[in-house]
Amino acid sequence: MAQLIDGKGISAQVKERIRQETAEFVKQTGITPGLAVVIVGNNSASRVYVNNKKKACEAVGFRSEEYALPEETTQQELLDLVDKLNRDEAIHGILVQLPLPKQISEDRVIEAISPDKDVDAFHASNVGKIMQGEYRFLPCTPAGVMELLHASGISPAGKECVVVGRSNIVGKPMAMLLLHENGTVTICHSRTKELAEVTRRAEILVAAVGKAKFITADMVRPGAVVIDVGMNRDENGKLCGDVDFDPVAEVASAITPVPGGVGPMTIAMLMQNTLTAAKAQAECR
Ligand code: NDP
């Protein structure tokens, strides 16, 4: 049976470290890190994520401001709000919860956020820095995965790493972070041929597909480390990952659960980025 990688416990340790660093920063500068979270429309999953982010802000000693805009918000109205937040000195990080309603271009909004306050690390200039390995902000979910690996004493160096999924927010930056830590990285997607043959090569397998229980035991190399980024609902409406947990746990050496794996780490990394942003902006004043 695989070792369980406890994202809940590891994220609690990370948040405690951030809480202590924040208290020290506030003492030295008088500045409280501030995160603005913008949510547009009535997506219930987004609502849950936003509430979790607000709770995490309170736990580490940040100020959080929530802007809940109606579904029919226009692109210009949202861009105006982003512009106001860009200029607000009490706000160090801006997060616009995706997805956005169809009348709004996500790309336009992401590019409007000041790169200095782009705590999701989605802005093209931050993405470019990630490619170069010179991070201003680490992309939250992939950074959370790296923290889980580090905390579990697992190094990607020299290992076969396979990432299933190539989205801009998870798959691609995930592959880049593994590469920067000297993994030999393969990225798979919906057009990959003989997927199981590729995934069976992985010593570290990261699933970011968005399909419930998609990674089955026959796709996993015995002894592999399996990281499940997926957040899906199964046929009974229960939260589950992209990995068929029980059978895969019989084959893997270590595995993350869903819930309680990558999800809490993503939020911890968002807190880390907000503190980093506040420190950098304090230095510029
Ligand atoms: P996307 O839908 O943007 O990307 C999914 C990727 O999976 C695509 O690259 C797609 O390939 C690939 N894919 C789809 N079907 C297959 C297939 N049959 N074989 C191989 N690859 C396939 O999703 P995200 O990256 O945004 O999210 C992935 C999952 O992670 C979701 O469940 C999401 O909810 C979860 N998530 C969890 C977070 C957390 O904090 N734990 C944070 C963000 C996301 P192609 O490009 O060819 O279409």
In DSSP notation, the chain reads: -PEE--HHHHHHHHHHHHHHHHHHHHHHH-PPPEEEEEEES--HHHHHHHHHHHHHHHHHT-EEEEEEE-TT--HHHHHHHHHHHHH-TT--EEEEPSPPPTTS-HHHHHHHS-GGG-TT--SHHHHHHHHHT--SS--HHHHHHHHHHHHTT---TT-EEEEE---TTTHHHHHHHHHHTT-EEEEE-TT-SSHHHHHTT-SEEEE----TT-B-GGGS-TT-EEEE---EE-TTS-EE-SB-HHHHHHH-SEE--SSSSHHHHHHHHHHHHHHHHHHHHHHH-
Residue 244 catalytic?
Answer: no
Ranges of each domain in the chain: 30-114, 140-262
Q: Could you identify the residue written with the tokens 């603005």?
A: 36
CA of 195 to the centre of ligand 1 (A): 15
Encode pLDDT of 41-99 as tens digits.
999 889 999 999 999 999 999 999 999 999 999 999 999 999 999 999 999 999 999 99
Catalytic residue among 120, 228, 242, 244: 120
CA of 210 to the centre of ligand 1 (A): 4
Q: Does residue 97 have an active-site annotation?
A: yes
At the top level of CATH, which class does the domain 30-114 belong to?
A: alpha beta
Type of residue numbered 252? A
pTM value? 0.97
Q: Model confidence at 258, in pLDDT bands (50, 70, 90)?
A: very high
Examine the residue annotation and report whether 53 is marked as an active-site residue of this protein. yes
Residue with CA at minimum distance from ligand 1 atom 19: 190
Give whole-number Cα distances, 257 to 99, 119, 165, 207, 217, in Å.
25, 26, 18, 12, 15
pLDDT band of 285, cuts 50, 70, 90? confident
Mean of pLDDT values over 116-142? 95
Structure tokens belonging to residue 26: 């506030």
Hey, what are 259's tokens? 């819930």
Structure-token match 């697992």, residue found: 154
pLDDT digits (tens, 9 = 90+) for 91-122: 999 999 999 999 999 999 999 999 999 999 99
Q: Which of 148, 170, 258 to mutate to test the pocket of ligand 1 (most atoms within 8 A of CB)?
A: 170
Tell me what pLDDT residue 9 has.
98
The listed CATH number (3.40.30.10, 3.90.340.10, 3.40.50.720, 3.30.465.10) that belongs to domain 140-262? 3.40.50.720
Would you say the CATH fold of 140-262 matches that of 30-114? yes
The vertex-185 CA angle with 200 and 181, nearest 5°, equals 125
Distant-in-sequence, close-in-space partners of 170: CB < 8 Å, separation ≥ 6: 141, 142, 208, 229
Give CA–CA dist 158/241, Å, rounded: 27
pLDDT mean over 158-174: 98
